[in-house]
Chain A
Amino acid sequence: MAREIRYGSWSLAAAGLTVLFAQAFHPSMLGVLWAAETAGWLALLLAGLLAFALFWPVAVQVARVPGSSLISLARETGGRPTAVATALLAGGLLVYHSGLVLREASEMAVTLVYPHTPQTFAMVALVICVLYGALGGIDAMVLLCRSFLPVLLLVTVGILFGTLGWGEIRYLLPLWGPGPGLLLARTPLVVAIYSPLLFLLAGASRLHDRQHLWRAGLVATVGVALLFAAVKVVLVMTFPYPLGSTIAFPLHALARLVIGGRFFERIESLWLFFWVYATACHLGAVLHASAAMYAEAVGFPSHRTAVLPLLLTAGTIALFPPDIGRAIAWHVKLAPVALGIAFGLPFLLVVVHLIRGRVSNGG
């Protein structure tokens, strides 16, 4: 008798939050946050709602398809060629994303966080973590995230409370920023940060509809939006406009102002200890998702077969950008494409599937 694991909303939300927490630190996110300017907290809230509005119907529909995964949806909709094409597009995006994030992370680890660490070691250590995470599978990843999340939230809340003493309420007003029009225009860019939620969809081949995939997505999306919004609120309360809107690494900036920060001069080194952990979870999950997609599309018995070739591909991509600036530029350019593939592709498949279902039912 095979033992079955059931994930509740909490586990999936934990996985989503951990993945997105790591995303928040990537340099490519900074451009998005800069664009949000003073009312970034509102932009992030809007982004959260928009991401949920896009994510929810897709997840609900995918959960209705036998197999409950993006690839099974594609196979149901257009047969095996569509499934392979979907895996190439979505999985390819994830591998490309992994490569760039790997490069950014190792560069950041060396230049910003751990100046005494050799870059080769940073890269190799991350690759080992990612490989282990991806081979470990979605079970281990979700369980790990679930155990890690309370620590993450505790530290974040501690930092937020520790910085409130410097705040000024007037900087919270949206009109201090660029105004509602520009804000709304830039919101879709912010939504791009939610593209790793595709990971949840990719992992959905193992999840059943009764496990409330959509609710987990809701909790993860809105939770992260609230987290970022809270960070941005405190940032804007702490630093006046326009300074507050141009600060890179808002979490780092806040971390430096923790009351304990009077003791620790650069507490971000400690703070980014958690970031390394979350990044390893993030990259492992993303690589696992792409491997699972390919394995399902071409009919491999296990995703493990695809992990090493995909990791090698991601590692090669990581070495392409000549410097971190170029890596960030590529990643920012990738955001709209990621948005389209993460949300547009499943949405398109769901619509076609629904239409075909109705046609066949009518016939």
Chain B
Amino acid sequence: MPIPPTLESVRDAIAASLHWPNNLGVELQPVHPAEPQGVEMLLLYIQGLADEELIRLRVLEPVSRFSCQDGRLTPARIRTALHSPRVRLEGDFDAVIEGVLKGAAALFVQGGADAVMVEIGSPATRTTGGVTSEQPHMDVFGTELIDNLALVRQRLSDPALIAEPHSLPRQRGTAAVLFLEGRADPEVVAQVRAWVERRGGEEAMRRGLAAGIRGKVGLLPERLSSKWPDHVATMLDTGYVVVMIDRVYHAYIAPVTATAMLAGAFDAVQIRPNSHLLRLVRFTLCVLVLIGSSSLVALMNYHHEMIPAPFLMALVSIRESAPLPILGSVLALEAFQEMMREAGFHLPGRFAAGAALIAGKILILILVQGGVIGALEGAVSVGVAFATLGLLNYELVYMLRPLRFAMILGAGAFGFFGMATILFLISMYLAQSKSYGVPFFGEPGIHYAAPGGISSRTQGGRTHGP
């Protein structure tokens, strides 16, 4: 597509392709040269991707000093005036937009067949600092909304990415609702927008991460949170809607689905088979967290026949000195583990949670050696604790933790049958649950395109979120 001939049509074309002015960070401003006076040019760039200080030094100041005696302002003359090897002319409007999305600034001249492209990209980064050999180099969000948006746009340079601005007057801040047009479900976008406008954004500014987790009565959170731009970009690319708020260093992801909960921040930088494998590993960890301790209770209380006789005898001899029954031991260990985890969260330092966990395990070892609890329940408790650590998503862990106790009680009462019943009821609850109208086991966007299927709204399913 050629560059539109007039500045008005350039404005229209930018509005159509980049959703300006309803797209936070997309900056389109008039520029005036010294001579001829009254002539206007348009400067287009994306905040955060293009360095605004460099724009001032290399574009705005030279252009404001530029004087054209014969009154014929052309892109070629502007390029000469800017006098830099990083300045070029571009005649294709789509290529201009692509360049702008990669951090360049574009200058449009009235009647010009080309745009002047200035490569001044100096994108904002905010790295984790502690990069290990296992994890790739990852950026994290800060508290500046524009920089956070830029971090996402670096990873998803798609003109369909829209960041709708919403002002939060009470907190004097701004929120952005991000989605990929054509991929996100418009109804989900509308609901998320409604949540932000209903002062949800202000609530999030006050409460931070808790605003994402705190939901109505139920198991599922209202929104997921992430501090990783790669994660957020992947979720946007698969049809999710993201809310980013000024001075909040988490992005909120909606709707809440099983796939989203199992997705990790590092999946985005993995090749596809590995990312699927990682999700499978996390799913296995979820199952282990849910049924690990309860299976032990069911086996020892109800299903002795499943354990070979010599092994059973060994287990009985190990547990001879244990004062508590197996159900009591397992419940006590799980409660102890929760306390240590909670203590770990309040300790200072990056590895405090891990240190608290290790300390807890050492205490368990002492209890086992002292004969207070059996070795088997101690080993299972340690395994379940490490499985919990393997789940990166806080919301998922918070969801599983209380359910684990329900499974243990079910196993203690009715063995595997009790476990199967509770698991079915939990699964059915999750299958009926909806987040912003999307089923928990469903996918946002792609399954809702065509008319004529089931209207999930008329099925009376449980709905989480506003």
User: Which of A's residues lie within 8 Å of B, judged by CB?
Assistant: 1-7, 109, 113-114, 116-117, 121-122, 125-126, 128-129, 132-133, 136-141, 143-144, 146-148, 206-208, 210-211, 263-267, 269-270, 272-273, 276-277, 280-281, 284, 302, 304
Contact = CB atoms under 8 A, between A and B. Distances in A.
Given A4-B452, A208-B453, A117 B414 contact: yes
23 contacts: A3-B185, A5-B454, A6-B448, A6-B450, A117-B302, A133-B428, A136-B432, A139-B454, A139-B459, A140-B432, A143-B440, A147-B427, A206-B453, A208-B452, A210-B450, A263-B308, A264-B307, A264-B308, A265-B305, A265-B309, A269-B305, A273-B420, A276-B416
Interface string B84-127: 00000000000000000000000000000000000000000000
Contact of B455 (A3, A109, A117, A263): A3
Given A5-B454, A129-B428, A140-B439, A264 B306 contact: yes
Interface of B: 185, 187, 258, 302-303, 305-309, 311, 414-421, 423-425, 427-428, 431-432, 437-442, 447-461
Contacts of B440: 143
Contacts of B457: 2-3
Contacts of B416: 113-114, 269-270, 272-273, 276
Contacts of A2: 455, 457-458
A4 B448 contact: yes
Nearest to B446: A6
B451 A116 contact: no
A139 B431 CA distance: 8
A144 B421 contact: no
A5 B439 contact: yes
Nearest to A138: B454
Contacts of A1: 187
Contacts of B431: 136, 139-141, 143-144, 147
Contacts of A138: 454
A7 B415 contact: no
Contacts of B447: 5-6
Majority secondary structure, B binding face: helix
Closest CB pairs A-B (n = 5) = A276-B420, A143-B441, A140-B431, A144-B431, A2-B455
A344 to B, nearest CB: 28
Nearest to B441: A143
A132 B415 CA distance: 21
Contacts of A284: 428
A147 B258 contact: yes
B417 A5 contact: no
Most buried by A among B415, B425, B454: B454
Contacts, number: 156
A148 B425 CA distance: 13
Nearest to B442: A143
A347 to B, nearest CB: 26
Contacts of A302: 460
A265 B454 CA distance: 46
Contacts of A208: 452-453
B258 A270 contact: no
A117 B415 contact: yes
A207 B453 contact: yes
A146 to B, nearest CB: 7
B308 A6 contact: no
Contacts of B454: 4-5, 7, 138-139, 206
B448 A5 contact: yes
A130 to B, nearest CB: 10
Contacts of B420: 273, 276-277
Contacts of A117: 302, 414-415, 417-418
A277 B309 CA distance: 29
Given A117-B415, A125-B417, A3 B187 contact: yes
Contacts of B423: 277
A329 B249 CA distance: 66
A111 to B, nearest CB: 12
Contacts of A136: 428, 431-432, 461
Contacts of A264: 306-308
B276 to A, nearest CB: 12
B460 A125 contact: no
Contact of A129 (B308, B421, B451, B456): B421
Contacts of A139: 431-432, 439, 454, 456, 459, 461
B442 A121 contact: no
Contacts of B419: 273
Given A139-B461, A141-B431, A143-B431, A265 B308 contact: yes
A88 to B, nearest CB: 25
A254 B248 CA distance: 56
Contact of B461 (A140, A277, A280): A140
A114 B415 CA distance: 8
Contact of B427 (A6, A7, A148, A210): A148
Given A141-B431, A144-B431, A3 B424 contact: no
B400 to A, nearest CB: 16
Nearest to A1: B187
Contacts of A276: 416-417, 420-421, 424
A206 B456 CA distance: 11
B21 to A, nearest CB: 26
Given A4-B448, A4-B453, 7 more contacts: A2-B458, A3-B437, A3-B457, A5-B454, A113-B416, A266-B305, A269-B303
A301 to B, nearest CB: 9
A266 B298 CA distance: 14
A138 B457 CA distance: 13
Contacts of B458: 2
Given A4-B448, A266-B305, A140 B425 contact: no
B452 to A, nearest CB: 5
